[in-house]
Amino acid sequence: MTASESLGKDLLGLEHLSSDQIRLILDTAEPFKEISERAIKKVPTLRGSTIVNLFFEASTRTRISFEFAEKRLSADSVNVASTGSSVSKGETLVDTARNLEAMRIDMVVIRHGASGAAQFLAERIESNVINAGDGTHEHPTQGLLDMLTLRDRFKRLAGLRVCICGDVLHSRVARSNIWGLQKMGAEVAVCGPRSLLPNAIAEFGVTVFERIEDAIQWADALNILRLQLERMQGGYIPSLREYNRVFGVSRERLERAPKDILILHPGPMNRGVEIDSDVADGPHSVILNQVTNGVAVRMAVLYLLAGGRPELAEAAKGGGAR
Amino acid sequence: MSTPALLLRGGRLVDPSQGLNEIGDLLIVNGLIEGSGHLGEIRRDGALETIDCAGQVVSPGFVDVHCHLREPGREAVETIVTGARAAAAGGFTAVCAMPNTDPVTDNQAAVGFIIRQAQRAGAARVYPIGAISIGQMGQTLAEFGEMVGAGAVAVSDDGKPVVSAQLMRTALEYARTFGIPVADHCEEPTLAANGAMNEGIISARLGLRGIPAEAEEIMAIRDILLARLTGGHIHLCHMSTKGSVELIRWGKDRHINVTAEVCPHHLSLTEEAVEGYDTNAKMNPPLRTAADVAALQEAVKDGTIDVIATDHAPHHYDEKEREFADAPNGIVGLETALAVNLTWLVHRGVIDVPMLVERMACAPARIFKLPGGTLRRGSVADVTVFDPDAPWTVDPARFRSKGRNTPYAGHTLRGLVGLTVVEGRVIHRREQ
């Protein structure tokens, strides 16, 4: 069995992956971590592959992380942003897709504001499609790098108690985390104002904490979501000040926890809103480890979708085995 | 009138308007029903076409009180001609065209245009529905009297809710003079804003903004209460929730002048059809849950819901070929309505064929005060002949409608229209 068979053509989300597939990606990421520690951060693994990073939404971190992953694997990649391309002239997603396909590309990494956009693209082109965030649906590589970071620290995911804090309603990171962590045997909770949780949240099989203090008592790790500032204008919460007072993760609140709690945040942070600076910069924060792991996870995904066999990942770092 | 007399021989005559459900013949002369029953040999001067209807149901022609024919304004998507032909192919002898055209059908000239185009089409009858407010802007009442004079049979701002309760009150009061129903698209706009599907676990999983059932129910009860206040006739369009059914029942129990319709898709499909972001499962109101479907089916059975209407809403294929949240609402329905209703309601034992004929033919004609809806001697000969059992597979490429947007593509359904007759004239005949 080849890895491409076991992962499929595309990575659209974690909801429909099996625990074996998730484990495969995480395990494949391990040997790729080391490449980024080298003086010459480049292996020839994806030499000759053409990859388009198709970003319909502004993104710095995710786009750069994918770009580094591609470059360190020697792929040829092109960035297409929604401004300055035909997309901004009103071209439809399906036409954009067909034009890319006509240029004989191998993979597309897509970030789009509409839920389902990655699947839409994947159903219409033969290239591999990687979802780099679609609307409020999924952001699978973020979920994977969060899990890799948790696994690094705890050496396991099964039985781990992870609470996702904040705007779950509008968060693709939250959904990918919930599906991924549940499949890997972790216990997942959410905590946030009810106006920022889906009404059907209980049907996700997660525990819901009304108060951040209760979440902190329960959790091994908190994954603190960015509070989009437009949510306040949208009337979901009255003010950032009150949000911080009621739901903000502060050092004082963490000090009342029965144990040390690992702190994750997908970034970019609003310091003083959902997370206080002394927590973000504190000893239990792994926020920068997440960023480092992001490159390794994305290298693993690119490698596996390109047809690389996981047992060759170690060897691939040195040679051109594909 | 020079159409030949028509003898529909040996079909099962189903006409709930006179409690008829028996094998027999139907004779049509000069566009009128001349007689029914065991007519034996017919001797008459002039042409007589005899059509064998053995094994088929012969019923009053279906009447769709809710469709969108897109003309004027979006003729690339549908025209009155193609819509009226699609209707005929679906067994409809008459359809009511909603006024959300471009320009909006909000004056007598616009109403007259639709009447004229329909006459040219020579297929199913098309009755215009006028707008409640000028431009469907929800501000100024349109001229109901002038529009009714030109041929409008109801008023509605369908596609949009009437947000102002005061405007709805006035519309219900003012419509009483002309004896027409006020049809409302029930949607509380702030709750439903930007919604793409039913709110629930599936919308939460797919990351699509949901429309709660309450967005419909709040407006449904508002309208029912305003009908109580005014004595006007409120007709609630495309009801989709269990809660709405309970509210309509509450209103009818109190003899409030409320009627309601439901669409075939809300009687057959659930929100699960949206999985995979299928834009052909996107409509407004959205597909709901299995509990809603069950409640709506029960309401069709017990009469809480009076009519089944299609909400036929064609779109160009590339309008639907896009991101789910950005795709337009609506599906075509004229050519699948009968078979969907037979497959999900009759063949699964929810209702029998006479009840289906009541909901698709008799009740809509009665409620909107239209000709047809009966096979009584002397009434206009609008008749549909259909095989209630014949299976067929939905192939949108074969639709007469310009629209291809249907969630039933590839489904095998049961029930085929054999013949559609308007005023004694065959406007559709199934290809053998």
**List of residues 6+ apart from B334 with CB closer than 8 A:** B64, B67, B83, B86, B87, B89, B90, B92, B95, B310, B312, B401
B311 given a catalytic annotation: yes
Neighbours of B414 (CB within 10 A): 18
Residue ranges of chain A with per-residue pLDDT less than 50 = 1-5, 84, 319-322
Q: Give the separation between CA B236 and CA B289, rounded to whole angstroms.
A: 20
Residue of A137, A200, A201 with shortest CB distance to B207: A137
Q: Which CATH number is B78's domain given?
A: 3.20.20.140
Does residue B373 form part of some domain?
no
pLDDT of residue A5: 47
pLDDT of residue A4: 43
- Give the rounded distance of the alpha carbon of A237 from its chain centre: 25
Contacts within 8 Å (CB) and 24+ apart, B18-26: B18/B374, B18/B375, B18/B376, B20/B375, B21/B353, B21/B354, B26/B58, B26/B375, B26/B383
Q: Which amino acid is at A292?
A: T
Are B146 and B211 members of one domain?
A: yes
- Give the rounded distance of the alpha carbon of A180 from its chain centre: 10
Assess contact for B120 and B126: CB atoms under 8 A.
no
pLDDT of residue A83: 59
Question: What letter does residue B387 receive in the DSSP assignment?
Answer: E
Write the burial class of residue B228 (CB in 10 Å: 0-12 exposed, 13-18 middle, 19+ buried).
middle
Are B28 and B111 members of one domain?
A: no
Write the burial class of residue A103 (CB in 10 Å: 0-12 exposed, 13-18 middle, 19+ buried).
exposed
Q: Give the separation between CA A67 and CA A76, rounded to whole angstroms.
A: 10
Are B144 and B288 members of one domain?
A: yes
Over residues B298-329, the pLDDT tens digits come to 999 999 999 999 999 999 998 999 999 999 99
The nearest CA of chain B is from the CA of A53 a distance in Å of: 19
Over residues A63-83, the pLDDT tens digits come to 999 999 999 999 999 998 875
Does residue B375 form part of some domain?
no
Which residue of B lies nearest to A93 if distances are taken between CA atoms? B322
Are B54 and B67 members of one domain?
A: no
Are B397 and B287 members of one domain?
A: no
**List of residues 6+ apart from B91 with CB closer than 8 A:** B61, B62, B338, B384, B386, B417, B420, B428
Tell me which of B277, B282, B318, B322 to substitute to probe the interface with A (most A C-beta atoms closer than 10 Å): B277
Interface A:B, Cβ pairs < 8 A: 67
Structure tokens at B178: 């002309």
- Give the rounded distance of the alpha carbon of A49 from its chain centre: 23
Assess contact for B6 and B421: CB atoms under 8 A.
yes
Catalytic, out of B157, B311, B382, B387: B311
pLDDT of residue A72: 96
Give contacts of B276 with chain A, Cβ < 8 Å.
Answer: 119
Does residue B374 form part of some domain?
no
Q: Give the separation between CA B55 and CA B41, rounded to whole angstroms.
A: 20
Q: Give the separation between CA B432 and CA B412, rounded to whole angstroms.
A: 19
Q: Give the separation between CA B388 and CA A221, rounded to whole angstroms.
A: 61
Is A204 in contact with B201 (Cβ distance < 8 A)? yes
Are B292 and B147 members of one domain?
A: yes
* Residues of chain A contacting B, Cβ within 8 Å: 15, 92-94, 112, 114-117, 119-120, 134-138, 172, 175, 198-201, 203-204
Q: Give the separation between CA A171 and CA A134, rounded to whole angstroms.
A: 10
Are B244 and B285 members of one domain?
A: yes
- What region, left, alpha or beta, does residue A25 occupy, with left being phi > 0 and alpha being psi -120 to 50 degrees? alpha
Give the helix ranges, DSSP H, for A134-250. 140-154, 172-183, 212-218, 230-233, 240-247
Is A115 in contact with B207 (Cβ distance < 8 A)? yes
Does residue B101 form part of some domain?
yes
Choices 3.60.9.10, 3.40.720.10, 3.40.1350.10, 3.40.50.1370: CATH for A140-290: 3.40.50.1370
Does residue B202 form part of some domain?
yes
Give contacts of B208 with chain A, Cβ < 8 Å.
Answer: 115-116, 135-137
Structure tokens at B426: 């065959």
H helix or E strand, kind and range, residue B95: strand B92-97
Nearest CA to B35 among B44, B43, B26? B26
Tell me which of A82, A95, A136, A142 to substitute to probe the interface with B (most B C-beta atoms closer than 10 Å): A136
pLDDT of residue A321: 40
Give contacts of A135 with chain B, Cβ < 8 Å.
Answer: 207-208, 325
Domain, as residue range, for B250: 61-367
Domains A3-138+294-316 and A140-290 share a fold: yes
The nearest CA of chain B is from the CA of A191 a distance in Å of: 16
Residue of A94, A119, A136 with shortest CB distance to B277: A119
Give the helix ranges, DSSP H, for chain A. 3-7, 19-33, 61-72, 93-102, 117-122, 140-154, 172-183, 212-218, 230-233, 240-247, 251-255, 277-280, 287-305, 313-316
Write the burial class of residue A252 (CB in 10 Å: 0-12 exposed, 13-18 middle, 19+ buried).
exposed
Give contacts of A120 with chain B, Cβ < 8 Å.
Answer: 277, 322-324
Contacts within 8 Å (CB) and 24+ apart, B319-323: B319/B77, B320/B279, B320/B280, B320/B282, B320/B405, B321/A92, B321/A94, B321/B279, B322/A92, B322/A93, B322/A94, B322/A120, B322/B279, B323/A93, B323/A112, B323/A114, B323/A115, B323/A116, B323/A117, B323/A120, B323/B277
Whether omega before B72 lies within 30 degrees of 0, making that bond cis, reads: yes
Counting residues of chain B whose pLDDT is more than 70, the rounded percentage is: 99
Assess contact for A243 and A237: CB atoms under 8 A.
yes
Domain count for chain B, please give it: 2
Are B15 and B156 members of one domain?
A: no
CATH of span A3-138+294-316: 3.40.50.1370
Q: Give the separation between CA A70 and CA A50, rounded to whole angstroms.
A: 9
Does residue B33 form part of some domain?
yes
Give contacts of B321 with chain A, Cβ < 8 Å.
Answer: 92, 94
Rg of chain A taking only CA atoms, in angstroms: 19
Which residue of B lies nearest to A116 if distances are taken between CA atoms? B277
H helix or E strand, kind and range, residue B354: helix B353-357
Give, in order, the Cα–Cα distances in Å from A299 to each of A22, A43, A44, A141.
14, 11, 12, 10
Q: Give the separation between CA A206 and CA A267, rounded to whole angstroms.
A: 23
Q: Mean pLDDT per segment of 10 residues, for chain B of length 432 residues?
A: 85 97 97 92 84 97 98 97 98 98 98 97 97 98 98 96 97 98 98 96 97 98 98 98 98 98 98 97 98 98 98 94 94 98 98 98 98 97 98 97 97 98 97 74
Tell me which of A91, A171, A196, A199 to substitute to probe the interface with B (most B C-beta atoms closer than 10 Å): A199
- Inform me whether the C-beta atom of residue B324 falls under 8 Å from chain A C-beta atoms: yes
Q: Give the separation between CA A213 and CA A193, rounded to whole angstroms.
A: 13
Is A138 in contact with B207 (Cβ distance < 8 A)? yes
Assess contact for A304 and A25: CB atoms under 8 A.
yes
Are B250 and B326 members of one domain?
A: yes
Residue of B210, B321, B324 with shortest CB distance to A114: B324
One-character DSSP codes across A120-146: HHHTT-SSEEEEEEETTTB-HHHHHHH
Provide the pairing of β-strand A207-209 with A221-224.
unpaired
Are B304 and B401 members of one domain?
A: no
Interface predicted TM-score (ipTM) of this complex, two decimals: 0.91
Are B280 and B393 members of one domain?
A: no
Question: What letter does residue B298 receive in the DSSP assignment?
Answer: H
Q: Give the separation between CA A93 and CA B98, rounded to whole angstroms.
A: 31
pLDDT of residue A3: 44
Enumerate the β-bridge partners of residue B15: B20
Are B339 and B422 members of one domain?
A: no
pTM above 0.90, yes or no: yes
Q: Give the separation between CA A169 and CA B194, rounded to whole angstroms.
A: 14
Domain ranges, ordered by start, for chain A: 3-138+294-316, 140-290
Instruction: Tell me the average pLDDT of chain B.
Output: 97
- Give the rounded distance of the alpha carbon of A2 from its chain centre: 25
Cα dihedral A112→A114→A118→A124 (10° resolution): -110
The number of helices, as runs of H, and strands, as runs of E, in chain B is 13, 18
Q: Give the separation between CA A141 and CA A144, rounded to whole angstroms.
A: 5
Nearest CA to A70 among A152, A136, A128, A3? A128
H helix or E strand, kind and range, residue B417: strand B412-422
- Inform me whether the C-beta atom of residue B286 falls under 8 Å from chain A C-beta atoms: no
Sign of the torsion formed by the C-alpha atoms of B218, B219, B223 and B224: negative
pLDDT of residue B2: 61
State chain B's maximal CA–CA distance in angstroms: 69
